[in-house]
Amino acid sequence: MTKTDSSPLRWVKSSYSTDNGGSCVEWAPANVTTTGIVPVRDSKRADGPVLTVSIQAFAGLVALARSVEP
């Protein structure tokens, strides 16, 4: 992932995630503001891989997640 500065990303957990081991997805909104890239990761694997997508692709992922019945 490319960043314009060396500060660590500030991750925000999805409002659909739970603290009891549910599906946990995090993203770094401040990075979007500075780079236009949306980093996404599994909060259960904070040291694991990070998926980076465009703003449009992230919007598509959110729309898909909202359209799926729980």
Report the DSSP pairing between strands 12-13 and 37-42: unpaired
**Local confidence band at 1 (pLDDT 50, 70, 90 cut-offs):** very low
Question: Does residue 6 lie in a domain region?
Answer: no
Range of the domain at 57: 12-67
**Mean pLDDT rounded to a whole number for the chain:** 82
pLDDT in tens, 34-62: 999 999 999 888 899 999 999 999 999 88
User: What per-residue confidence (pLDDT) applies to 52?
Assistant: 95
**Local confidence band at 13 (pLDDT 50, 70, 90 cut-offs):** confident
Q: How far is C-alpha 27 from the chain's CA centre?
A: 2
Question: Does residue 16 lie in a domain region?
Answer: yes
What's the total number of domains in the chain? 1
